[in-house]
Chain A
């Protein structure tokens, strides 16, 4: 960290905020201490400073005072710079502190902390509620959003900046990863797992990818602003559609050993004594044969599927598979 650079940048912000007219680079050099005398050095440093300010979100404007001016000037409009007036009720400030904790130790943790700092600077008091390790939230709830997938950072940037990306992806049931080129429309966390949805350029179709199945780095393959999200796109819908194939509900009859399968019994339609002692007859509902057969097979010798026959066959197949 360089103190001189901080001073110079701060001077630059104050200088450009306090002018209504556009200031030329030379006027800025004269007003803000810390710029070098040499023209080429100044130019390079000034360029970098402008870049740094824009990255911080400072709305640096470029324009001409007169249509006949040769070089553009710079200014920061107060109205564009300032966080608008914001007043929060006590209950709103309380949930704000909670929200800032959601990303803790995840990708956007720094951004959340930065936002909280600005809101505090606007006079909002969240100090007692943002919580630290020693003082977990007093509200009895601790929601967390994790981003263990390394692909999250670059994909969020790509979504934010509307840039296409390319990555190698190992689809479900595929042994070899494949190269994909995607126009990302959004990222979705569904039940703890991150997905990205967008237009797959190679297939010219809407596709959803799971971040944990992306192998290796995510690379940008086009400029910012070159991706258009179609009007009315609901990324959340796109991701949940994947596994919400509407299947009709069916009825299963199981023999469950007395005392076993509490988890199955909980969702049962009815439980009664079986003719054979030591067993209960459990009637329950299911939609997906494969998934329900997996769940029934888990119980091993404590659950027997009596009906329907396709479910019974599926369980037998699993068990034979174990012994194969």
Chain B
């Protein structure tokens, strides 16, 4: 157990441990330790503590009797502790909010199981479930196309089939063709992504579903290589690399949203509510597009090559409007 475990946290574990064993009649030490995320030694400490509990009045007695001989835990007397404590408001809310979010995931095939489970948990949590109604999660499903792609992706993952994608790359304004061995459908920051081994890049890639132009399930088995490591989306979608180009932008009040939408290396306030931000990008094409979109609300300060590129693009674009 880690040093940060408090007395009440350990109490929570002890209160769950007794019913965990009782509901299973008998259960192995190793399995139980794994389920509770503790070492076997820590588990044995817990069991000894439970066994030692005594009440002294009116007559002394030990309410809990258990043994773990031969590595099998058996609780022969549990008094009134045979059932776990009710779900707390935070606990019920965490699960219910997550389940309702899952029901929103495009292409979700488990919706009947989800609604049955939600109803059961609401009933079991009772009053503790009510606060969860004050939390809502809405997943961005760009269009009916994305919903259909999500269903196809999940079917392909289950069936172990390769996919063919036409995928839009905004940095180059290019539609690319690629074969992908699908691994998972992710929902990150409210948006669906396909994670898979891209045969063209020979690497794991995340594909935004709203940039998939078309998708086809191939009659070819999916065969991601052994070294295909899952993308750790919990580390954030933005992976800085030493090769990334630092770009300095100045934003007006109306352009401040950039600091919220893009992962910035630094953000500093200027006068009049303006901001100076530093972005790192593997592809300055993306920032060029951003600068054109921003118009007077954002200005590239450096690198100078990008400043020139943006001006050139704007000049050439304006020339198209001169009749």
Contact = CB atoms under 8 A, between A and B. Distances in A.
B30 interface: no
Contacts of B153: 140
B86 A83 contact: yes
A140 B223 CA distance: 15
How many B residues touch the partner, as a band? 35 or more
A193 B55 CA distance: 51
A186 interface: yes
Given A118-B84, A145-B137, A160-B89, A190 B53 contact: no
Interface string B107-123: 01010011011001101
Given A89-B116, A98-B102, A189-B190, A321 B297 contact: yes
Contacts of A83: 83-87, 124
Given A1-B9, A84-B126, A175-B253, 16 more contacts: A18-B63, A31-B56, A57-B85, A81-B80, A99-B98, A102-B101, A117-B13, A120-B35, A140-B154, A159-B131, A174-B253, A189-B135, A262-B174, A298-B293, A322-B292, A323-B314
Nearest to A99: B98
Of B93, B102, B154, B190, which is in contact with the most chain A CB atoms at under 10 Å from its CB?
B190
Interface in B26-70: 31, 34-36, 49-50, 52-58, 63-64
Nearest to A58: B85
Contacts of B138: 188-191, 236, 239-240
A212 interface: yes
Nearest to B297: A321
Given A141-B105, A143-B187, A188 B137 contact: yes
A163 B293 CA distance: 41
Interface string A53-85: 001111100000000000000000010111110
Given A30-B56, A322-B314, A56 B11 contact: yes
A112 B91 contact: yes
Q: Shortest 5 CB-CB distances between A and B: which pairs?
A: A175-B273, A192-B190, A321-B296, A321-B295, A123-B23
A104 B234 contact: yes
Of A31, A117, A317, A322, which is in contact with the most chain B CB atoms at under 10 Å from its CB?
A322
B199 interface: no
A302 B170 CA distance: 13
A111 B98 CA distance: 12
Nearest to A123: B23
B87 A1 contact: no
Contact of B295 (A10, A89, A319): A319
Given A56-B11, A118-B84, A142-B187, A322 B310 contact: yes
B11 A6 contact: yes
A224 B168 CA distance: 50
Contacts of B182: 140
Contact of B14 (A5, A6, A18): A6
Interface stretch (B240-248, B276-284, B315-323): B315-323
Contacts of B54: 11, 33
Nearest to B273: A175
Contacts of B74: none
Contacts of B6: 1
- Secondary structure class of chain B's binding surface, majority of residues: helix
A7 B188 CA distance: 42
A192 B191 contact: yes
B83 A122 contact: yes
B201 interface: no
B149 to A, nearest CB: 12
A204 to B, nearest CB: 21
A114 interface: yes
A27 B195 CA distance: 61
Nearest to A187: B135
Contacts of A324: 296
Nearest to B166: A262
Interface string A1-44: 11101110111011101100000000100111100000000000
B215 interface: no
B7 interface: yes
B98 A141 contact: no
A45 interface: no
Contact of A144 (B50, B124, B234): B234
A11 B79 CA distance: 12
A316 B321 contact: yes
Given A143-B102, A319-B292, A322-B310, A300 B316 contact: yes
Interface in B71-103: 79-81, 83-95, 97-99, 101-102
A301 interface: yes
B55 A14 contact: yes
A121 B55 CA distance: 24
Interface in A89-125: 89, 91-92, 94-96, 98-100, 102-105, 108-109, 111-112, 114-123
B84 A301 contact: no
A203 interface: no
